[in-house]
């Protein structure tokens, strides 16, 4: 299904070109105006140092706590000071299960605590890492709009193993010399140095450890109408391929950490993680398993950022009685999801398979996409699709802005990376949030933009959760969205020319060499 999503829309070549276009822009801009580290030349109408945007999609489908005009701002450069904690048991590709508590000081020193677990509920701690270093914010990211590039230097990484079983598992993964003494003899509960500035990185690499996540940072502040606020820290994504992860320069984000000071209430996990130390890892309470029940309509909680420059929100409807599924992927050119570029509507079928053996509580699925419709929301995208060879991408010559086209008769559209019919191996899980409302987690996309079209490529981690906005809703209710989006598009269109030029240019040059 999500062959249609951002990651796959941009195959390697596309992202490469897009990156080149950005770099070109950067060169032009820097020459033209001196080195303005905190400005990004894409929104001439918007102050990039005070970037703000509010969620734009259908009000009745917004996450309840984002209703009533919650405003989201993201400063560039962000202020990282303070402690930031996990709000749930986090799942990294592998899978790896962890909780994090990161503290940043105004001196630029940071202290990052990572607790790793043996189980998908973070109930049984295996080992903890205490990471100390320094971070320097460098400049606004030209690749991931809204993000800030940073560089970190590690000074120390210590490990505390919590159980004998965990020690055995680690000893089989790490070179024997890693903790000064043989890891096999390490005492549970005692801290050992895994890395310092004099030692090499061999032990860290063997552990699949890197702090490259700190190379891309973003802080979002939700301002609630009743005066309260919630702050979230987004750090760079972790590569889905284990081999790549210690070298990976992030262009997307992980699930955010929340400020220990300004977080959603109540957050029992936040409190446990905040009070933890490397000697006392938090043991999360057993979560009440949410049975998987897909029926209804699910939407993104926020504007999602995907590796390599794409911003989108997702809107899925499942009809279990027919095993039918429809997914709408709305793509935007900005991190507030206010400037639409194109929308994909995919339809097909799905089958639920076995409970996952790697991730307890998760289920394996197979999705088949049989039909895709595309709407261009801006001229460059419409022109690009219009200029495809006849028979390759819908009806060539008949693409118009805001008019949906069916790609099924041409078996997809190579320019958009869509080939029909298409099959994908998926991983889903459901959890309840702090108000006992269901959250739907679907599998994370491979970072290299490949498609999980084989069981071996099935994801082992998740995308940001979606929320249920109505159970068992029907097709007809969709119409209201379309008309709203038309208004949205025309209102923002006139502002968007510069960025669309860039975007269209990248697509165009990709097309030229395709």
Ligand X SMILES: *[C@@H]1O[C@H](CO)[C@@H](O)[C@H](O)[C@H]1NC(C)=O
Kindly list the residues in this chain that would bind ligand X in the complex (CB under 6 A): 47, 50, 52, 382-383, 386, 397, 399-400
Closest approach of Cβ 513 to ligand X, in Å? 21
State the greatest distance between any 2 C-alpha atoms of the chain, in Å, as a whole number. 71
- Cβ–Cβ under 8 Å, residues 86 and 121: no
| DSSP string over 179-201 | BSB-GGGPPTT-EEEEEETTS-S
Comparing CB distances to ligand X, the nearer of 8 and 410 is: 410
Tokens, residue 197: 């500035």
Closest approach of Cβ 275 to ligand X, in Å? 34
Q: How far apart are CA 512 and CA 458, in angstroms?
A: 33
Comparing CB distances to ligand X, the nearer of 49 and 370 is: 49
Closest approach of Cβ 226 to ligand X, in Å? 17
Query: Given the DSSP bridges, would you call strands 82-85 and 340-355 parallel, antiparallel or unpaired?
Result: unpaired
Closest approach of Cβ 486 to ligand X, in Å? 16
Closest approach of Cβ 389 to ligand X, in Å? 13
Closest approach of Cβ 225 to ligand X, in Å? 13
Secondary element (H or E) of residue 16: helix 12-33
* 70-87: b (≥16 Cβ within 10 Å) or e: bebbbbbbbebebbbbbb
Helix (H, G, I), strand (E, B) or coil at 397: coil
Comparing CB distances to ligand X, the nearer of 296 and 380 is: 380
Comparing CB distances to ligand X, the nearer of 54 and 118 is: 54
Comparing CB distances to ligand X, the nearer of 31 and 512 is: 512
At 15, give phi and psi (nearest 5°): -65, -35
Closest approach of Cβ 104 to ligand X, in Å? 23
Helix (H, G, I), strand (E, B) or coil at 403: coil
Comparing CB distances to ligand X, the nearer of 287 and 387 is: 387
Radius of gyration of the chain (CA): 23
Closest approach of Cβ 437 to ligand X, in Å? 29
Comparing CB distances to ligand X, the nearer of 257 and 382 is: 382
Closest approach of Cβ 383 to ligand X, in Å? 4
Comparing CB distances to ligand X, the nearer of 232 and 378 is: 378
Closest approach of Cβ 46 to ligand X, in Å? 10
Q: Around 141, how many Cα atoms within 13 Å sit in the side-chain half-sphere?
A: 29
CA angle 424, 330, 313 (to 5 degrees): 80
CA-nearest of 287, 216, 283 to 256 is 216
Comparing CB distances to ligand X, the nearer of 47 and 182 is: 47
CA angle 400, 404, 406 (to 5 degrees): 115
Secondary element (H or E) of residue 481: helix 479-493
CA angle 254, 259, 261 (to 5 degrees): 170
| DSSP string over 220-288 | EEEE-TTS-EEEEEEEBPPPSSGGGTTT---SSB-SPEEESSS--SS-HHHHHHHT--SSS---PPPPP
Comparing CB distances to ligand X, the nearer of 227 and 291 is: 227
CA angle 145, 151, 156 (to 5 degrees): 140
Torsion sign over Cα 450, 452, 455, 456: positive
- Cβ–Cβ under 8 Å, residues 447 and 248: yes
Comparing CB distances to ligand X, the nearer of 74 and 359 is: 74
Closest approach of Cβ 397 to ligand X, in Å? 4
Torsion of CA 22, 26, 27, 32, to 10 degrees: 140
Closest approach of Cβ 509 to ligand X, in Å? 18
Comparing CB distances to ligand X, the nearer of 367 and 399 is: 399
DSSP 414: G
């Amino acid at each position: 299904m999500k062959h249609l999503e951002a990651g796959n829309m941009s195959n390697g070549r596309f992202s490469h070109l897009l990156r080149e276009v950005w770099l070109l822009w950067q060169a032009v801009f820097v020459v033209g105006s001196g080195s303005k580290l905190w400005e990004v030349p894409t929104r001439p109408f918007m102050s990039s140092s005070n970037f703000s945007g509010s969620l734009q999609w259908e009000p009745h489908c917004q996450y309840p706590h984002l209703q009533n005009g919650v405003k989201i701002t993201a400063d560039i450069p962000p202020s990282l000071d303070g402690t930031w904690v996990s709000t749930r048991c986090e799942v990294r590709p592998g899978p790896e299960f962890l909780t994090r508590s990161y503290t940043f000081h105004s001196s630029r020193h940071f202290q990052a605590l990572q607790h790793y677990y043996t189980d998908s509920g973070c109930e049984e701690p295996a080992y903890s890492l205490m990471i100390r270093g320094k971070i320097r914010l460098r400049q606004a990211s030209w690749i991931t709009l809204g993000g800030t590039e940073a560089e970190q230097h590690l000074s120390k990484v210590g490990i505390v193993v919590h159980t004998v079983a965990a020690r055995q598992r680690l000893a089989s993964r790490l070179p024997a010399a890693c903790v000064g003494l043989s890891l096999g003899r390490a005492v549970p509960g005692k801290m050992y140095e895994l890395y310092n500035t004099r030692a090499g990185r061999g032990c860290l690499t063997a552990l699949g450890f890197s702090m490259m996540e700190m190379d891309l940072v973003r802080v979002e502040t939700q301002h609630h109408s009743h005066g309260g606020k919630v702050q979230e820290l987004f750090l760079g994504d972790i590569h889905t391929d284990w081999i790549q992860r210690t070298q990976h320069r992030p262009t997307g984000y992980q699930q955010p950490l929340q400020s220990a000071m300004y977080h959603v209430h109540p957050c029992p996990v936040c409190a446990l993680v905040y009070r933890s130390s490397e000697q006392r890892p938090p043991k999360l309470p057993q979560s009440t398993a949410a049975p998987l029940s897909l029926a209804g309509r699910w939407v993104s909680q926020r504007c999602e950022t995907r590796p390599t420059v794409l911003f989108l929100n997702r809107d899925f409807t499942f009809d279990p009685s027919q095993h039918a599924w429809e997914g709408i992927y709305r793509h935007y050119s900005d991190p507030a999801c206010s400037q639409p570029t194109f929308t994909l509507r995919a339809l097909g079928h799905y089958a639920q398979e076995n409970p996952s053996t790697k991730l307890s509580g998760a289920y394996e699925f197979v999705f088949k996409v049989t039909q895709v419709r595309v709407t261009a929301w801006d001229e460059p995208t419409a022109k690009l699709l219009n200029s495809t060879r006849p028979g390759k991408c819908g009806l060539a010559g008949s693409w118009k802005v805001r008019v949906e086209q069916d790609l099924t008769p041409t078996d997809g559209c190579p320019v958009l990376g869509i080939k029909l019919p298409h099959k994908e191996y998926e991983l889903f899980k459901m959890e309840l949030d702090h108000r006992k409302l269901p959250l739907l987690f679907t599998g994370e996309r491979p970072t290299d933009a490949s498609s999980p079209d084989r069981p071996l490529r099935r994801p082992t981690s998740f995308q940001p959760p979606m929320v249920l906005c109505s159970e068992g809703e029907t097709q007809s209710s969709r119409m209201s969205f379309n008309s709203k989006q038309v208004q949205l598009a025309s209102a923002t269109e006139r502002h968007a020319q510069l960025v669309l030029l860039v975007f269209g240019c990248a697509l165009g040059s990709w097309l030229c060499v395709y």
